[in-house]
Amino acid sequence: MYPSITIEELEQKRQEGIAVIDVREELPFNQNHLPEAINIPLNQLSENINELDDDTTYYVICTLGVRSMQACEFLAHEGYDVVNVEGGMQAYREMKK
């Protein structure tokens, strides 16, 4: 199992220098993403898992929070420390209005 946080909680955590994985496809990622986010699309996560550090907590984000939940389930099962970001980039855009 893994925890989830709101976009407002993520915004506070970002000031601490956190690791963010954006699991959206390359085009939406390139159009708008958090500056510190690395892009690993959900369908490429299993083949790129070796790029991740076992000792890092990863905050996982997508557009609405569905793909990030799937990514968190997979990564948590593989032994990684992950946190799902509820509402995803849509919630981030709403918060910034």
Annotated catalytic residue 72: no
Q: Which residues pair with 59 in a beta bridge?
A: 20, 83
Q: Where are the beta strands (DSSP E) in 19-63?
A: 19-22, 37-39, 57-61
Catalytic site residue from 62, 85, 89, 91: 62
- Asked if residues 83 and 40 have their Cβ atoms less than 8 Å apart, the reply is no
The residues annotated as belonging to the active site are 62
